[in-house]
Structure 1
Amino acid sequence: MSTTIVNPTGARKARPTDVYVELAGTIRESGLLRRRYGYYWTKLAAVPLVTGACIVAFVLVGDSWWQLLTAVVFAFVFTQIAFLGHDAAHRQIFRSGRWNDWTSLVIGNLFVGMSYGWWQHKHTRHHANPNKEGVDPDLDLPVVSFTTAQVTAHTNPMVRWLISHQGWFFYPVLLLEGLSLHASSVRRVFMRAPMQRRPVEIVFLVVRIVAYLALVFFVLSPGVAAAFLAVQLGVFGMYMGLSFAPNHKGMPIIGKDVKLDFLTRQVLMSRNIRGNLFIDFMMGGLNYQIEHHLFPSMPRPHLRRAAPTVAQFCAEHDVPYTQTGLAESYGIVTRYINRVGLGEKDPFACPLLEQRSAIAP
């Protein structure tokens, strides 16, 4: 499927803030910001039931190499649960902030094993300034460079060679993302940095991690247990990475001091993934990244319905609105990261926008 960018030259025009207010009013009047309690209560009830079913299946299979298939199932379930925690953290489920916070704490810390406080701190900064150098934490990864400044900071020839091919290494590296997420969570909760409900976070994380490891090593022999954990963490990290990577990677990166209005900042830096209800489910609604960034508290099932309205509004106001197929988005990410690694990429432009701008009348 082809990539669609509506009116790419619109990014150069300044817009008053009331343009977004107009869009927000249209969305609000359409009822798309209303809560979906039935949808979310069904998912919340499914979390312990599905997790319990996975544990029962794990115990019944016993000490067998077939558990590697069970590990894939666990990885899939944990990722889907993490998507639900993401929705709660964005206040999509309940009106009460306290209810959403505790839902995120239980889901994230107790079921997935990731600190809600750590994720909230990181993700809030990303939403405020997506793809902004020195501000968006998602651009600051230890093994991948997204800007020329990050590339030139490395002087070792072997490291520079790896960076020049980093687009191809990016996806295999995602196999380590699951372990990295858990490690970052644990490190954050034991740091001195401010964190609400730190004792609760610590208790939930310790209970989840210790209980999970105890179950795995009680049922499985050491070798099978190690393989099980490697597969589960690897697939979990890969699934999370493949769901989040297409959203912003390969879209424009702006300097720290660049000022953009809210509508332009959120739409220009984000990419939607065109698809169907199956894609919506597999990506946890993250494929509607533009709508999610414009309306973070919009319930997940409403994002698909809001997309046509947002796309039309952006076209009428000359705001670039990017959408592409899933497979094509991975190709864009690969080429973009490799171009950065080769030192050929201007971090303030997007290869797709450059191409469209070149042929625009």
Structure 2
Amino acid sequence: MRRKKNGTKIEYIPGDGAGLLLAAIYLLFMNPILTLFGGRVNEETFYHSREYFFYITLGVPFYMFGQAMNPIIRSDGSPKFAMISTLAGAAVNIVLDPLFIFGFHWGMMGAAVATVTGQVLTAALSIWYLCHMKAVKLSRESFGIHVSLTKRYLPLGICSFLSQISLVAAMAAINNMIQKYGAMDEIFGQAQYAQIPMAVVGIVMKFFQIVISIAVGMAAGCIPIVGYNIGAGRKDRARNLFTLLLVSEAAVGAVALIIVEFFPRQLIALFGAANESVYYTEFAVKAFRIYLCMMIFACVNKGTFIYLQSLGKALASTMLSMVREVVFGVGFALLLPVFFGLDGVLYSMPVSDVLTFLMSAAVIAYTYRELKQ
């Protein structure tokens, strides 16, 4: 964003063209994308995947706009409104899901429409706030693209993009290996059980995302504090905050580890698996206990990646993240199943987290030395 000389007006606000472009790409290449992520386990799965994918894609522009405006609202001094706008969308989604799925009998379409409705609400609240911002006055020039500004923020955005796209690559590799080696399994190679491995790993990843979201939230909350203290020359405070963050991340991971190791059946029940077969339950228990057995390292790694960004070490953060997801995540997801079959896909996650932690530990030690000078 660029401020006028009188310091009272902002002349640039990022648009939502990327969301529209991404939605168009999704719709044009729907089948190849679903195939890439293992959506062709069987015809029934592929049908429901297409149905959900189509409607959820319509909400991509609203979702991206709401997510993009959220940090802008926070930076304007209204973190509560930013939180409320996000929670409002999530609450609408939760309320409408059972209504659309069971009340209107819309099935997968109902789940997608409920999600999109929540995203539209978040985007609408963001638009309202942008028209009532404290420090920003919108003008026609606010919606233009300024090359000089683009050159400044694009490198930071590319670093974040590479980190996220590497995660997508890892997920695509895992899903494809699950589909491939699940078909070779004695049980899951049967048509009536073919969808179990993909469904179970999807549930495990949902729980993982919830835990990692907590880790990301704690680390992201440190960013403005670190920036302020580094600017004030108080590296000691930044170092102490780093210590507190690492301890907190490890604690979150430890709690998650206890849950997945001791209460996997209760977790499965939360996702409506009460009427599933015994094969479903057995594989789900094993998947939770193996796939997420290194949650402590996973949380510490994620916190380290984000903290490095707050110190201006975007390249180091991006490289660690890409090594974790592409080199280790994709590499071991392709390699380990060759020796261990379907179980090898599950082992790929903890192995990647341990090796990444060894690299992160070296970066953490170096960062401590820097902040101690």
Higher-helix-fraction structure: 2
Q: Which has the higher contact order (CA 8 A, sep 6+)?
A: 1
> Normalising by structure 2, what TM-score?
0.28
Q: Which has the larger radius of gyration?
A: 2
> Normalising by structure 1, what TM-score?
0.28
